[in-house]
Structure 1
Amino acid sequence: MQAPTWDPQQYLRHSTHRTRPLLDLLARITELPGDGAPRIADIGCGPGNVTALLADRWPGARITGFDNSREMLRAAADHAGPTHGGGALDFRHADAATWTPEEPYDLIVSNAALQWVPGHADRFPAWLDRVTPGGTLAFQVPGNFDAPSHALLAELCDAPRWRSRLGGHGRHYVHILGASDYLERLSVLGCDVVDVWESTYVQLLQGEDPVLEWTKGTALRPVLTALDDDRAAVREFVGEYRDLLRKAYPAGPHGTVFPFRRICAVARRSPAAVRRPGEEPTA
């Protein structure tokens, strides 16, 4: 199945709402190793706006954002360069499904990206192996795939009119685990602190068909990519989806209410050497 083509400007239309969970995630991260200049990796950095927020939190940090979308990396390049605190931002092409840290990191963080990566929890051991003692792995993923915005999309893709072209597209990119599953996965990997929680952000969106505009930046991308060579089909599908969303999320006098659940995790690697289950002690 073809990888989605991303539109950085569409994604950034709701950047304030999209970055709020990341800010809450960062608030749970305690001091990092690195003597004021921690080494940080941002996995699935997108257009770089979140990577820039990391530099605001740790001004002396050396931060690399990784993404597999050329479109997103071109947008992120605007943020590259030295930071006001003596640190630096740079961006590189990498796929989170196969990325292995090439050097130790004091923080590996991912914001709303791992849901696109099948088996991403299987990458945690390799990532934590390269987190410095006392460092942190932190991420947040959407947890709203049973919400009308996503359930209706999946049902429409599987409808007789669209099944032959889009069957499975509405569910194909859903790869999250439950909060308790993340807790179990991280608790056995040499972490002295594992903090996993869920939050539902009850967002008030503005504008015409704002939930549709939101999904055009994320969940709808695989469908738009699959139909890209057929503009009439794009208009027809989006029109049907828009009508379903209008009923599910009616506009009110102050905007459109759009609840959005997130799953967040912060795992700090123990400052002391910890042997993994089944791992032989070193001499």
Structure 2
Amino acid sequence: MPQGATRFARIRDGLEQVRLSPGPTAWTYEFLLFGFKQAWACLFGGLMLALLLGTHFFYPADAPWHRYDFLTCAALAIQAAMLAFRLETPREAIVIGAFHVIGTIMELFKTYAGSWIYPEASVLHIGAVPLFSGFMYAAVGSYIARIWRIFDFKFTRYPSAWATAILACAIYVNFFAHHWLPDIRLFLFGTAVLLFGRTGIWFTPWRQPRRMPLLLGLALVAMFIWFAENIGTFANAWTYPDQRDGWRMVSIAKLGSWYLLMIISFVLVALIHGVRRPDQIR
């Protein structure tokens, strides 16, 4: 174990040293270890969701701070604590920062276009966008960056970096341009299939590397983000036009948007972390 390893890396190493005979007990242990690692990768996002729900139900109406400002400061405190206690690496913090900037730019445009609104007041904001909103995107980046390391991701038939970067840029531009130009998301979905259709992602829950089609993995994560989005809108963190008269579940069509955002997210983290093949040793 390297001297600079995070606290979680030392815990994970201990759990991975467990030796069990092949059979149901070993399969159960691997499944539980997989869940534990997933939960740890979701730590930042999970804490943010807990804050959204907790402040929705319990934040005092006469508090000296606006709720949104409290959320911004709390998110900064969580980020600082994760770095201070070595629960997160500096490289992962860079990923989070990049996602915060990218997400805030999109938020500024989307709120201006009326795609959604932030119904509560705040002091810490840019335009109509409270600063805590960028941490919602940062939570996605945090999850991908952390899970990349925790499960020791490797890839087969991963497309060239320049092709994936062009696709990610086209998806990002389309999030803005479709307000004036034809929406090309179907073309973008097709291009993603052409680029990543044969790409396999290898991950190691315990001892044995497992394989999954990359596009399937991205779809599963997009689905969980959609569930988290429903929690966020229920907590009145932001509101879509069809929720102004009362909360309702976010349209299932939003899964497509989250799927495209997952591609952007994955490509960005790949450019920062690098892509390794199964024959490459850590």
TM-score > 0.5 by shorter chain: no
- Which one has the bigger helix percentage? 2
TM-score by length of 1: 0.26
TM-score by length of 2: 0.26
